[in-house]
Amino acid sequence: MPKGYIIGHIEVTDPEGYPEYVARDTPVLQGHGGRFVVRGGRYENREGDAAAMAKTRHVVIEFDSFEAAKAAFDDPAYQEVAEIRRRCARSTMVLVEGTE
């Protein structure tokens, strides 16, 4: 079965408030079997619209399946925590199914 991923491209607008999101989202997503593959770190935009990729953080969370990624994202506990991210950052979040 293909893995599932939550991929986030995030521009933090409130660096003082954002750490609360990171501290609170981790246990919820890990509780659904999520494994952080990428969480921040350095990056280089090599092709495409640099403005579209001007986010300061890129995050990839791996799950055992697309359904597991979706369940984690849709979990009311995560959605409650996600309000902190929405308040403290501009972000694009996508769910992606991997290859087998």
Give residue limits of the domains in the chain. 4-97
pTM of model > 0.75: yes
Burial 41-68 (b: 16+ CB within 10 A, else e): eeeeeeeeeeeeeebebbbebbbeebeb
Residue with tokens 């607008």: 13
Per-position pLDDT tens, the chain of length 100: 999 999 999 999 999 999 999 999 999 999 999 999 999 888 877 777 666 556 678 999 999 999 999 999 999 999 999 999 999 999 999 999 999 8
Q: Tell me if the domain spanning 4-97 has CATH number 3.30.70.100.
A: yes
